[in-house]
Amino acid sequence: MRVRSADRQWVVDVIRLALTGTHRDGEWLRIKRWGWHVADVRTVAELAWYVDLATLGEVLGRPAW
């Protein structure tokens, strides 16, 4: 799943990692800004540190998380 902010500045992808050597297996939210990797986070609370959730909520057509 991919969500972009209305201004297309931020992109959030849901990714699944498996068999990693660093034990980071599972689902992650991958954050990119202008195409550059910013961070991988596990929760929406961590996502809020990087992206304004209201902006993403508008794109999804419902209130922010």
The token duo for 57 is: 């909520």
Instruction: Place 32 in a pLDDT band, splitting at 50, 70 and 90.
Output: very high
pLDDT tens for 36-60 read 999 999 998 899 999 888 877 665 5
The full DSSP string for 4-28 is E-TTS-EEEEEEEE-S-TTS--EEE
Enter the pTM of the model: 0.77
